[in-house]
Chains A and B, each alone.
Chain A
Amino acid sequence: MTVRHRAIGWALAAVTLILVVVNQRGVGIARDEVVYMQAGARYAAWWTGLVTRDHGIDERSVTQTFGGPNPTDNNREHPALMKTLFGLSEQLVHGKLGLAGEVTAFRLPSAVLHAVLVLIVYGFVLELWGLAEAIVAALVLIGLPRAVFHAGLACFDAPTMTLWFATVVAYFRALDGRRWPWQVGVLWGLALATKHTALLLPFALGAHYLVIAWRATRPDPGQPDRPGFGRGLGARLRAVLGYRGRVIVSLAVLGPVTLYAVWPWLWFAPIHHVRDWLAFHLNHVHYNYEYLGRNWNAPRFPWHVALVTTLFTVPVATLAAAALGAGVWISERVRRPARAHRGAPVLLLALSFAASIGPFVLGSTPIFGAEKHWMPALPTICIAAGVGVVWAARRAASAVRRIPAPAMIAGVAGCVVLAAAAEVVVAEPYALTWYNTLAGGAPGGADLGMNRQFWGVAARGVLPVLIADAAPTGTTAVYTHDASPAWSIYQHQGLIPTTLTDAGWEQAGIDRSQLAIVIHELHFNRHDYLIWASYGTVQPVFVLCSDGVPIVSVYRRPGK
């Protein structure tokens, strides 16, 4: 990689970081994010205290900070890595340096990791396919509206995409036979320490390993057996396992060790705590999720949820380019098998995609998080798009000789990237309500009965309305619905005055309130009805829309 290549990669990463950080400023606080921020602040304080020797390592302090007897105590159901980084970032970037607001500082690690993902994708594609493909793949990755949204939250979904793909790339590079392939194990451990979905990764890596090791250890019929490359099945399996055995050892040893090292909750009773962690997710409650006009909250779910949702949440031009790229890969493989890369990178990307999205085809895996649950599939799509765009442009340039190939690539890539950019502009800041033009945008998504949103982020958009409608003096109790967990943060940020108080939950909260909001999701309709019964009116005073689609209603108690 030349200096110019590096500069381009860093520039792309910088653009990503700026885009995500700027965009998140308009995004409300997600319900789960509040939990992660609060836990992260505690985790960071614990680590800081450990470094400054305010306390040592003892079971009591670890349990008080990272765990507890109940399944969700101190958010022990999710590993600690990202939360710790959120907390440290808040301590440093906001608390010490004063470079960013509190919420932005909490969210910064996610944004940085998203920029790192762009850099990794760029570097990987540059190495295997070329500069043009690398730039296009990076740009269409930057232009994924839902990914931009998730990368701006202090949550795990964008970071786990980065660490998943970083592990894939580290594994691929480790196949070069290096003596100490520690990177792959450590990165997988970090991925595990980010989100449990990284447990799916060995399925992709394992399948890939078996294929390439099987191929590499195939005895040459024209030559006598090489040592270790025997003809018997047992000898062959030993050869396969030993082909790059250190990679397996790295994953098997350094992965769990890294997870253990960065998650103090595992330091005491690790087996018990790992079992609890996995059991929580294996028995996870099925939240409500609207898909194709029906509310789903119990299996069996349609097998096509992940495919259709991906089809509607990746820009169409990117999907078309990815389809071309996939076609190019298949065609190359069929026509010129001898020229195929020994490391089978395309197979690896396909397996990474399949391992990430595959569980959602089973019909029993919770679907409530939509694309955020299978985000590690996205780099494969973007890389395929990069390959597809450049292949199509080069083919066109060879047909139209007046236009040089670089200009043609720039033209075609420019169109595809512009389309992605247009979708990003339309989608934000309510990207969970957005669907691509194949679905007909947000209104088309609503017509199709696709999920409207989740996590209550849209509540931020009605805060000015609530302020305007509040009593001029004294306090005004607000039924804050799904924004309840974020309410104190909005107050702390100064987005609402402390005189706008959270009235409390459900009917009791509604009955106490003078103002009420409903964040629209199909299963939240019941909140409208509770408010109607309490307020004696069905008429909201304000409806916040995203591209014409209602996302939050505000009610005022008549006679207030």
Chain B
Amino acid sequence: MPALVLAGIACWEVCAARRDATSVPGDAAWQAAAAAVRAGYRPGDLIVFAPAWVDPIGRRELGDLIALPDAARMDAARYGRIWELAIRGAQASDTADLVPAVTEDHAGVRVRRYDRPPAVVVGDVLDRAASATLSAPPPATLPATPPGPGAHPAVVLAEVGFAPHRCVQVSPAPGTPLRITFPAFPLGRTLVGYVGIADVFTRRDVRSPVRIDVELAGRVIASAGAGVDDGWVRFTATTPPGPADVTFVARAADANRKLCFAAEARQ
């Protein structure tokens, strides 16, 4: 009996090793799936891939349809149509809880299109970074990112939680809140934002978390903290529609924290 089991396992392994090695759809399948997407693609559509490790192959086939802001999006809420190319039964986090309008299979590459009412974005901090102001740090404190009043925060494409995100990146001085104010920021009914720590190496070397508060008329309407392993952390607040000064207060306990955040005002 043990010999039979051993021989059985071995035979299974011989077959399975080959099967595993060829279990990922090849270039022809990807090209067919990409052709299907191109046939139905409209400007403004989002294209995503699952599982995450197959992303380079997906971008190779359809990267020309993925603009940088789409690849480095805050989240997928503003997209009314999402194309998902997936293998091995995986699903992208962007399409969780959505029902596909179209499903096709191209030799193992499953193409699904999800249609849904997009979030209507009335204000985006990334579009308004040039008009944002940074608070001056106390005289005794060396400024990290902000050189002083009148400076604007940087919008960068950063790695946060091993994913790409366009975000406002600041480095608050340790223990000193850094206030980033967006004057007359157009608000909708909700403000949705995310915060995280950029750069895997600073996350490794400095382990303390960061924190962000959102203030409206001197009142904190949303808060979120992000630790080194938390990735891109969501926060939301209900807001009165209309323009208002919105301030993001960034805090870090240690120097050289690359705090990244993005936020959208949605109707």
On chain B, the residues within 8 Å of A415 by CB distance are 6-7, 10-11
Contact yes or no, B9 A392, CB < 8 A: no
Binding-face segment, A28-36, A41-49, A369-377, A440-448: A440-448
Interface membership of B118, Cβ < 8 A: no
> Hey, which chain B residues are within 8 Å of A295, CB to CB?
162, 200
| B104 at interface by CB-CB < 8 Å | no
A419 touches B163 (CB 8 A): no
Query: In the complex, are the beta carbons of B59 and A540 less than 8 A apart?
Result: yes
In the complex formed, the residue of A with least CB distance to B204 is: A297
**Chain B binding site: helix, strand, loop or mixed by DSSP?**
helix
A 371-418 contacts with B by CB, 8 A: 388-389, 391-393, 395-396, 408, 411-412, 415-416, 418
Contact of A550 among B17, B25, B54, B71 (CB under 8 A): B54
A426 near B10 with CB under 8 A, answer no
Contact flags (1/0) for B4-25 with A, using CB distance below 8 Å?
1111011111101110111111
**Does A316 lie within 8 Å of B13, measured CB to CB?**
yes
| Residues of A contacting B6 in the complex (Cβ-Cβ under 8 angstroms) | 317, 320-321, 324, 388-389, 392, 412, 415-416
- Name B25's contact: one of A316, A425, A452, A548 (CB within 8 Å): A548
| Range for the number of chain B residues in contact with chain A | 35 or more
A536 and B71 CA atoms in complex are apart in Å by 12
Q: Is the CB of A550 within 8 A of B53?
A: yes
B97 within 8 A of A: no
Evaluate whether A297 and B200 lie within 8 angstroms (CB atoms) in the complex, with A392-B2, A415-B7 already known: yes
Chain A contacts for B204, CB-based, 8 A: 286, 288, 297-298
Contacts A294-B229, A446-B53, A537-B63: A548 and B159 contacting too (C-beta < 8 A)? no
Q: Which chain A positions have C-beta within 8 A of B9? A: 316-317, 320, 419
C-alpha spacing A169/B18, complex, angstroms: 37
> By the criterion CB–CB under 8 Å, are A419 and B3 in contact?
no
In Å, the complex CA distance between A324 and B17 comes to 22
Contact of B24 among A316, A525, A545 (CB under 8 A): A545
Confirm or deny: B64 has a beta carbon within 8 angstroms of a beta carbon on chain A.
Answer: yes
Residue of B nearest to A399 (CB): B1
Q: Are B21 and A426 in contact (CB under 8 A)?
A: yes
How far is A315 from B62 in the complex, measured between Cα atoms in Å?
37
Chain A, residue nearest B157 (CB): A533
Do A538 and B59 touch (CB < 8 A)? yes
Instruction: Give B166 Cβ to nearest chain A Cβ, in Å.
Output: 10
Please name the residue on chain A nearest to B26 by beta carbon.
A548
Q: Decide: A412 and B17 in contact? CB cutoff 8 A.
A: no
Question: Does chain B have a CB within 8 A of A539?
Answer: yes
* Alpha-carbon separation in the docked complex, A47 to B64 (Å): 57
Produce 1/0 per residue, A221-238, CB < 8 A to B.
000000000000000000
Complex-state Cα separation, A520 to B52, whole angstroms: 12
Q: Does B60 contact A (CB under 8 A)?
A: yes
Which chain A residues lie closer than 8 Å to B17 at the CB level? Answer: 419, 422-423, 425-426, 436-437, 441
B163 partner residues in chain A, CB cutoff 8 A: 525
Contact residues in B for A422 (Cβ distance below 8 Å): 13-14, 17-18
Contact partners of A538 in chain B: CB under 8 A: 59, 63, 66, 68, 71
For B90, the chain A residues whose CB sits under 8 A away are 447
A408 touches B57 (CB 8 A): no
B14 touches A393 (CB 8 A): no
Contact B16 A545 (CB under 8 A): no
Which residues B57-93 have CB closer than 8 A to chain A? 57, 59-60, 62-64, 66, 68, 71-72, 88, 90
**CA separation between A324 and B13, bound complex, in Å?**
17
Are the C-beta atoms of B21 and A441 separated by less than 8 Å? yes
- Min CB distance B19 to A, Å, is 8
Residues of A within 8 Å of B66, CB to CB, are 538-539
- A525 with B162: CB separation less than 8 A: yes
Q: Is B158 an interface residue (CB 8 A)?
A: yes
Per-residue CB proximity of A185-210 to B under 8 Å, as 1/0? 00000000000000000000000000
| A525: chain B residues within 8 A (beta carbon) | 159, 162-164
Q: Measured between alpha carbons, how far is A553 from B54 in the docked complex, in Å?
A: 11
Q: Check if B56 sits within 8 Å of A520, measured CB to CB.
A: yes
Of A315, A317, A411, A443, the contact of B88 (CB 8 Å cutoff): A443
Known: A422-B13, A538-B71. A441 touches B20 (CB 8 A): yes
Chain A stretch 527-542: residues in CB contact (< 8 A) with chain B: 528-529, 532-533, 536-542
- For residues 257 through 294 of chain A, which have their beta carbon under 8 Å from a beta carbon of chain B? 286, 288, 294
CB of B202 to closest CB in A, whole Å: 11
* Chain A interface, DSSP helix/strand/loop, else mixed: helix
Per the 8 Å Cβ criterion, residues 187-241 of B in contact with A are 199-200, 203-204, 207, 228-229
The smallest C-beta distance from A372 to any residue of chain B, in angstroms, reads 21
Assuming the contacts A525-B163, A532-B71, A533-B157, asked whether A396 and B4 have C-beta atoms less than 8 A apart, the reply is yes
Q: B127 → chain A, closest Cβ, in Å?
A: 18
Say if the beta carbon of B123 comes within 8 Å of chain A.
no
CB of B125 to closest CB in A, whole Å: 19
A549 interface hit (Cβ, 8 Å): yes
The minimal Cβ–Cβ distance linking A47 to chain B, given in whole angstroms, is 38
Residues on B with beta carbons closer than 8 Å to the beta carbon of A541: 60
Residues of chain B lying within 8 A (CB to CB) of residue A297: 200, 203-204
Q: Which residues of B contact A543 (CB under 8 A)?
A: 56-57, 60
Q: How far is the CB of A458 from chain B (nearest CB, A)?
A: 13
B261 to chain A, nearest CB (A): 17
Q: How far is the CA of A446 from the CA of B51 in the complex (A)?
A: 9
CB of B154 to closest CB in A, whole Å:
12
Cβ of A526 within 8 Å of any chain B Cβ, yes or no, is yes
The reply on A522 being an interface residue by CB < 8 A is yes
| In the bound complex, CA of A23 to CA of B162 (Å) | 33
Residues in B with CB closer than 8 Å to A548 are 21-26
Name which residue of chain B comes closest to A550, CB basis. B56
What residues of chain B lie closer than 8 Å to A408, measured between beta carbons? 3
Query: With a CB–CB cut-off of 8 A, which chain B residues contact A528?
Result: 56, 164
The yes or no answer to A547 lying at the interface (CB within 8 A) is: yes
Known pairs A388-B6, A446-B51, A447-B88. 9 more at Cβ < 8 A?
A: A297-B204, A298-B207, A316-B9, A392-B3, A419-B17, A522-B162, A523-B200, A528-B56, A547-B22
- 6 contacting pairs across A/B (C-beta < 8 A): A295-B200, A317-B6, A395-B2, A538-B68, A538-B71, A547-B24
9 smallest CB-CB distances across A and B, nearest first, come from A548-B24, A539-B63, A441-B20, A396-B3, A415-B10, A526-B159, A317-B10, A419-B10, A419-B13
Q: Which residues of B contact A (CB under 8 A)?
A: 1-7, 9-14, 16-18, 20-26, 51, 53-57, 59-60, 62-64, 66, 68, 71-72, 88, 90, 157-159, 162-164, 199-200, 203-204, 207, 228-229
Interface residue ranges, A against B (CB under 8 Å)? 286, 288, 294-295, 297-298, 315-317, 320-321, 324, 388-389, 391-393, 395-396, 408, 411-412, 415-416, 418-419, 422-423, 425-426, 436-437, 440-444, 446-447, 452, 520, 522-523, 525-526, 528-529, 532-533, 536-543, 545, 547-550, 553
